[in-house]
Every structure is written in C-alpha cells, then in structure tokens.
C-alpha cells in the first residue's frame, strides 16, 4: 500500500489530455469575466472593449503562425475545429470530387467525422502507418486521384507522439493536384513545434487552447483565404458568418495569452521536455517486459511516451498509480470512456496483450526531473506485485 507521503504527492503526467492553465492566463480571464464582460457584438463601450480582445487575439495568433488575422476563426476547441474543417470543406467542394484521404491514427474528432462524411456519400482512404506510427509518402501518392478534394493528416499523434511528414505530404499532394485542400490537426503539435501553414502548404489547421496551458472549451481554426468552406453553424453571423455564436471572449483572450507565453521560450522548454523524455525512457529500459510504442528521440513529440507493461492491464496500473497521486492515462482521453481498442495501437499492428497493457505518460513545462524519478520508483515498486496477481 502507498504510504501517507506517497498519497499526498501529486504528479500530473496526463498533459496530452489537458494542461494546467498558466497563472497569467487565469488572471487575464478573471479580469475579463469580472470587469470587461461585454458582448463583442454590442455597440456600446463594453462591447467595444470585448471586441478589442478578439482583435488582439487574432493578431497574436496570426503573428505566431505568420498568417493573416482574417484567416483565424475561434471555436470551442479542437473537435469543433476538425468538424468545421472537414465537413465545411467537403460540402463546399463536393461538386469537384468526393474523395478524401486521412490516416488510420487520427484523433476520433477526425476519424468519426470522416465516417459521417462516408455516410453522406464521400469516399475515404485511410492511410496505414509503419510500426512507429508514421505514414508512407508513397502510399499517399498512390491514394491521390482525380476525385480527391481534401487530405487530412495530423501533425503529432496524441497517443504515441508520432510525427507525420506534414510539409512533405502537402508538397506532394499539391504537386499532383494543386486544388486539393490540405488539413492538419495540430492539437498536440502546436505549442511544441514552430508551425507556419503558408510555408508548409497547410490550408486548414486545428488547435485547442487547453493543450497549451490555456483554458478548456476554446480553440481556433486557421483557414487559408484561398479555401472555400461552408459554415456548419448558423445564427447571428459572427466571425464573418463562418462560426455563428457569441464569442467566448475570456477563453479566446486566455488562449492567445497562452500562445504568447508558450512561444516566448519555446526552444528552451522543448529541449528540456526532450531531456525529461530521455530520462524517463532510460529508466523504463531497465524494467523487464516493457515495450515502448513509437519513436523516442527527436523524431517524436517531446512530451509523449507510450509504453506497454506486459502482464499488467493498463487500467489496473493506472488505478494503482492514481492511488499514489501519479496521474497518467490509457490512450486518448476523448476515446477512453468507450472502452474500445486504440485505433493508433491497432494500426501499429500491436498484439492484443500489448494494447491491453499500454499506458501514456505525457509531460509539460511544469514537469520536473524529481517527478520523473519518483514515477520510475513507483513503477519499480508496483509492477512486480501487479504481475504476481495478474490472472493467467
């Protein structure tokens, strides 16, 4: 049983699910909630104050991406951004073709939306990945055809941290058919990498605020001015009719503040995350019956480690670590409640026993070396006991 000290210890290693808000973000949002709470569509002074926050947020994000402020649209988060990008683009361009391309390891917000579009008469090609979760550009080349109107490839996989060759894929697609719209789910990659859509050939890009130490319930979609996209929400005509509904001013301002702060020291912070990851991976390699899923070096995300502890069910280990105040996850938080096999790990070709034993650890700017070491100590303590009592 964990000691009293262990129970009081809190180590949060589920940052791919959500992150702790930065203090500056919370302070700014509090100010807006309590003092500058006007509706940005109102014409009086309170409304003008609120609208200024939206304008400043667009400018901050656009400057970070090296795009135009008018190409940034605010949403409720990554899921809505993905839905708007995929459904809006497919419906607006269906007279030019009905073929869409994505990968087998996308987030459910993309995979489920693609299945919906299949029900609407679209044809979808799901690209396979190798044992590390990376697509083949040759497979992508073979998939593009006359009817292809959109390609959606995630930047960073949320379960194993696989990085996709986004810029190379976009260049390949555009060389074959320039009219194809290229969408990137950058929810896990944004805030860890410098992403410049125009330079990389990205036409649409989805981002979520709560993955970068901003608030939950807010995100944005970059939409290149060249892209034709149909709204999926109708109402008051906010955001040039692209996304109706009163804007979440505190959330949007908080997200923009998180963007500003995260990118101030990005190189230093990301290098530190890679050092933490290597420290953790080195510690894991000393354990028996452990398989790390995906790449672990600079060819992977700096903040994600997915590992199968053979002989121990993931949920059992998760619960045991939680008892010790160590919080991790068994796959994607958005799909965990369904209790189904991971699409990502299935695509990797893992055997069922490895999928059942897979746990995701994910770090943030708040994670320390001491927390990494204490987590390794906890694993060394609990794994032998759990394996001893695992049913054959």
| Residues contacting 379, CB < 8 A, separation 6+ | 284, 287, 309, 321
The answer to whether 284 touches 292, Cβ cutoff 8 Å, is yes
Of the residues 124, 266, 292, 334, only one is catalytic, namely 334
d(CA 172, CA 130): 19
Q: Tokens 């452990």 appear where?
A: 290
| Residues contacting 297, CB < 8 A, separation 6+ | 278
Helix (H) or strand (E) holding 270: helix 266-284
Q: Tokens 């995929």 appear where?
A: 86
DSSP string, 284-307: HTTSSSEEEES--STTB-TTEEEE
Helix (H, G, I), strand (E, B) or coil at 16: coil
Q: What are the E-state strand segments in the chain?
A: 11-12, 72-75, 99-103, 123-127, 148-152, 181-185, 204-208, 219-223, 290-293, 304-309, 326-327, 358-362
List strands edge to edge, sheet with 304-309.
290-293, 304-309, 358-362
The answer to whether 333 touches 187, Cβ cutoff 8 Å, is no
List strands edge to edge, sheet with 123-127.
72-75, 219-223, 204-208, 181-185, 148-152, 99-103, 123-127
Rounded to the nearest 10 degrees, what angle do helices 369-388 and 266-284 cross at?
A: 30
Active site residue 334: yes
- Residue 127 tokens read as 């690209």
Question: First CA to last CA across the chain, in angstroms?
Answer: 23
Beta bridge partners of 292: 307
Active site residues: 334
């Amino acid at each position: 049983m964990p000691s009293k000290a262990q129970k009081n210890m809190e180590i949060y290693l589920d940052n791919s699910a959500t992150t702790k808000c930065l203090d500056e973000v919370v302070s700014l949002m509090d100010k807006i909630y309590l003092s500058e709470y006007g509706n940005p569509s109102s014409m009086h002074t309170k409304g003008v104050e609120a609208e200024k926050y939206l304008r400043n947020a667009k400018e901050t994000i656009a400057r970070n991406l090296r795009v135009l402020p008018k190409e940034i649209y605010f949403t409720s988060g990554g899921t809505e951004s993905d839905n708007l990008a995929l459904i809006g683009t497919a419906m607006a361009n269906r007279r030019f073709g009905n073929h869409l391309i994505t990968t087998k390891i996308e987030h459910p917000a993309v995979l489920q939306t693609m299945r919906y579009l299949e029900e609407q008469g679209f044809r979808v090609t799901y690209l396979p990945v190798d044992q590390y979760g990376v697509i083949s550009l040759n497979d992508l080349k073979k998939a593009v055809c006359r009817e292809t109107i959109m390609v959606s490839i995630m930047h960073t996989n949320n379960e194993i941290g696989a990085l996709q060759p986004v810029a190379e894929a976009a260049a390949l697609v555009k060389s074959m058919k320039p009219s194809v719209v290229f969408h990137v789910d950058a929810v896990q990659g944004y805030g860890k990498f410098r992403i410049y859509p125009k330079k990389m050939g990205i036409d649409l890009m989805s981002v979520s605020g709560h993955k970068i130490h901003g608030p939950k319930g807010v995100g944005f979609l970059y939409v290149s001015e060249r892209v034709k996209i149909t709204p999926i929400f109708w109402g008051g005509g906010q955001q040039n009719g692209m996304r109706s509904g009163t804007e979440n001013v505190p959330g949007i301002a908080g997200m923009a503040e998180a963007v500003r702060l995260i990118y101030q020291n990005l190189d230093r912070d990301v290098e530190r995350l890679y050092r933490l990851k290597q420290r953790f991976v080195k510690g894991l390699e000393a354990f028996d019956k452990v398989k790390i899923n995906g790449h672990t070096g600079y060819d992977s995300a700096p903040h994600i480690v997915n590992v199968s502890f053979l002989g121990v069910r993931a949920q059992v280990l998760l619960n045991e670590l939680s008892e010790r105040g160590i919080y991790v996850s068994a796959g994607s938080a958005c799909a965990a409640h369904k209790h189904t096999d991971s699409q990502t790990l299935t695509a990797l070709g893992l055997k069922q026993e490895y999928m059942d034993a897979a746990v995701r650890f994910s770090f943030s700017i708040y994670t320390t070396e001491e927390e990494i070491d204490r987590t390794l100590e906890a694993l060394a303590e609990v794994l032998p006991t759990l394996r001893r009592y695992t049913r054959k």
